[in-house]
Chain A
Amino acid sequence: MTEYAIRARGISKRFGDLTAVDHLDMEVESGRIFGFLGPNGSGKTTTIRMLCGLLTPSDGDVEVLGLKVPEQAEQLRQRIGYMTQKFSLYTDLSTRENLRFMADIYGLDRRDRWRRIDEVLAQFTLTDLRDRRLDAMSGGQRQRVALAAATLHRPTLLFLDEPTSAVDPENRRDFWEKLFDLSEAGTTILVSTHYMDEAERCHRLAILERGQVRRNDAPDALMQALDGRVIEVNGPGLRQLRQHLMAQPEVVSAAQQGSSLRVLLGEPVAAPLDYLRGQLNDPAQQPRATRPNLEDVFMAATSGERAA
């Protein structure tokens, strides 16, 4: 039987007239990395805040690690780690001072405390930075400190809200290696992002738009579902072609990538390649079917009615 770290049923959050999260259902399997992919304002942060009890849902039920949230949120605190979107450690303190602070707040055993701090320092390659103040660190270094702080008390569930928004691609890759280490050790991770490469690394992915889940599956499955619907066109006159295609109801998106135009067609189109051939405006244009990527999935998921 599958164990779920998070179950949410029909949760909504309204701020006055604005509905930030709209009847959202989700389940996160224990020990997996679950991704939230969505544009800014799609309700990722609000959902995470509801899941860890910082916001009270306007509707719906949340159960996290078998506890009712927000009613039993206090019992949950010790078992979750949370990395906020905005960097939230003390930048005028050093790595060790920050970690010591978090260790004491989480009530780590006095003898265990320094051993555990040394452990996470090594785990996140922070040993050389242990006495440096955070305001003298790069974005990538700070994120490692933040992850170290969030995992210091050995939480079984980790919420990461856009953890790598201030991190360069190389550091982002290292960061994800650390996440897989944690996942391997049994930690469930919920991570929100708007980076496709990051989203693709998740075991399972929910695509959010305007507070609703548009897709929810493994990244591979999501991409496979679009097989055959992504056409690349090479040749001249791509700007005009794009303009023409964007006006067609069958076309979900058309975006130029270098010297080719990537076109995503909607589901009702039976023979995408043939359909597109009929739309070309220059004999030199060469269409060919190509492997869908996550951006295509994202476009298909978030283009609303056009995707139909």
Chain B
Amino acid sequence: MSALTRIAAVSRKEFLQLSRDRMSFGMIIMIPLVQLLLFGYAINSVVRHVPIAVVDLSGSAAARVITEQVRVTQVVDIVSRFDTPQEAEAAVIAGEVRAALVFPRDLARRVAAGDTVGQWLVDASDTMVSSALLSLRTMPLKLDAAAPAAAYTASPPTFEVSLFFNPERRSAVNIVPGLTAIVLTMTMILFTALALVRERELGNMELLITTPIHPIELMVAKLVPYILVGLVQVAIILGLGRVVFDVPFLGGLGTLALATLVFIAASLTLGLLISTIARTQLQAMQLTIFILLPSILLSGFMFPYDAMPVAAQYIAEAFPATHFVRLVRGVVLRGAETGQLAGDMLWLGGFTLVMLLVATARFHKRLD
């Protein structure tokens, strides 16, 4: 009996404490809600609407008919057209499109001969995306409008598919670079999220704010050590990925370093902002998880960005991890150069600046 009373006493106390911690209470509601929406609505392992480019060297009516039939499969969205395969390849490397469909000059002759009608140049770094495109390899075509029943099935496959960057379609190739984004999101945000809160909890903050230190100095100073930590983490993941999982490294170190730096800075400043919101280390940790979950699920690390509904893609754009997953895969797997990745880098840079200013503005050298 007394055991029950004691258990009830502690449980009651836990409930009381929980109900006084508004943020923890909110998390109890928000985490299942957000998870449910993310998994149920945004996450889609059936890949559709992959952005592609078309290069029509034949200029023929057949090319237009085939293109239309490829489009109605809904597996791809045709987002651009190029005049040469080289331009299309550059677009694939820059990450503007995931694949290009090239129709040769002699398309009419091939159609007549029942031969392969075109070639897919596919960025195969994401195995889910490349699988979706490979499914088009033997798709039947209907080329004679007058005789719709006579389906075109070439004895060689309908399309030839060239898999770039990851011809063996190993998932590690895609996972390892993306993992840097997740590990950095996890550690960088958490480190700085705790940084100010810890000083506040331990009482160091009251001393610090009576000193002449300026808020922006404090904010910048809190970031610098962790930038080094982040660089070490990236080096470990990519180094081991290279040695153990044989992940290729096609891009330049300079580009990678630049991309990593802006992402680390963005994550750290996001953590700082959390630090100015959370009152306790527990709250800071919860807020970090709250950002971490969608970063993992929406960034394209686990599920292809292209397969997500448009609304989810807009939300995904708000998270730095989405931009860095794109950047690091571009540099490491496709050898993209700084110029081709400028958009995402600028976005991260801008994000950093805004977060730093907001965090500084939120941080007062006052206790009231």
Please say whether chains A and B are actual partners in one complex: yes
Interface positions of A (Cβ within 8 A of B): 49, 52-56, 70, 73-74, 77-78, 80, 82, 84, 86-91, 102, 105-107
Q: Would A107 and B212 be within 8 Å (CB), given that A49-B367, A54-B367, A55-B368 are in contact?
A: yes
User: What residues on A are CB-neighbors of B209 within 8 Å?
Assistant: 54
List B residues 350-368 near A (Cβ within 8 Å).
Answer: 365-368
Give CA–CA (A80, B367) in the complex, Å: 17
Q: Is A88 a contact of B212 with CB atoms below 8 Å? A: no
Can you offer 12 A-B residue contacts whose CB atoms are under 8 A? Answer: A52-B210, A53-B210, A53-B366, A54-B206, A54-B210, A56-B368, A77-B211, A82-B207, A88-B203, A89-B204, A90-B204, A107-B212
7 further contact pairs, Cβ within 8 A, besides A77-B211, A87-B203, A102-B211: A54-B209, A54-B367, A55-B367, A78-B212, A86-B206, A105-B211, A105-B213
Contact with A along B4-18 (1 / 0, CB 8 A): 000000000000000
Q: Would A77 and B207 be within 8 Å (CB), given that A54-B367, A55-B368, A56-B368 are in contact?
A: no
Give CA–CA (A78, B213) in the complex, Å: 10
Give CA–CA (A30, B189) in the complex, Å: 47
User: What residues on B are CB-neighbors of A82 within 8 Å?
Assistant: 206-207, 210
User: What residues on A are CB-neighbors of B204 within 8 Å?
Assistant: 88-90
User: What residues on B are CB-neighbors of A88 within 8 Å?
Assistant: 202-208
Interface positions of B (Cβ within 8 A of A): 202-213, 365-368
Give CA–CA (A279, B205) in the complex, Å: 55
Q: Is B366 a contact of A56 with CB atoms below 8 Å? A: yes
* Minimum CB distance partner of A73 in chain B: B365
In the assembled complex, how far is the CB of residue A143 from the closest CB belonging to chain B, in whole angstroms? Answer: 14
Give CA–CA (A82, B206) in the complex, Å: 9
Instruction: Give the contacting residue for A74; candidates B208, B212, B367; CB below 8 A.
Output: B212
User: What residues on A are CB-neighbors of B210 within 8 Å?
Assistant: 52-54, 77, 80, 82
In the assembled complex, how far is the CB of residue A95 from the closest CB belonging to chain B, in whole angstroms? Answer: 15
Give CA–CA (A278, B30) in the complex, Å: 72
User: What residues on B are CB-neighbors of A105 within 8 Å?
Assistant: 208, 211-213
User: What residues on B are CB-neighbors of A73 within 8 Å?
Assistant: 365
* Minimum CB distance partner of B214 in chain A: A74
Q: Would A70 and B366 be within 8 Å (CB), given that A84-B203, A86-B203, A89-B207 are in contact?
A: yes
Give CA–CA (A105, B207) in the complex, Å: 11
User: What residues on B are CB-neighbors of A56 within 8 Å?
Assistant: 366, 368
User: What residues on A are CB-neighbors of B211 within 8 Å?
Assistant: 77, 102, 105-106
Q: Is A84 a contact of B206 with CB atoms below 8 Å? A: yes
Instruction: Give the contacting residue for A55; candidates B203, B207, B212, B366; CB below 8 A.
Output: B366
Which 5 A-B residue pairs are closest in the complex by CB-CB distance? Answer: A88-B207, A86-B203, A82-B210, A77-B212, A88-B203
User: What residues on A are CB-neighbors of B213 within 8 Å?
Assistant: 105
* Minimum CB distance partner of A149 in chain B: B207
User: What residues on B are CB-neighbors of A77 within 8 Å?
Assistant: 210-212
Give CA–CA (A106, B211) in the complex, Å: 7
Give CA–CA (A72, B85) in the complex, Å: 67
In the assembled complex, how far is the CB of residue A199 from the closest CB belonging to chain B, in whole angstroms? Answer: 24
Give CA–CA (A73, B202) in the complex, Å: 24
User: What residues on B are CB-neighbors of A80 within 8 Å?
Assistant: 210
Give CA–CA (A90, B195) in the complex, Å: 13
Give CA–CA (A125, B207) in the complex, Å: 22
Give CA–CA (A82, B211) in the complex, Å: 9
User: What residues on B are CB-neighbors of A86 within 8 Å?
Assistant: 203, 206
In the assembled complex, how far is the CB of residue B367 from the closest CB belonging to chain A, in whole angstroms? Answer: 5
* Minimum CB distance partner of B221 in chain A: A105
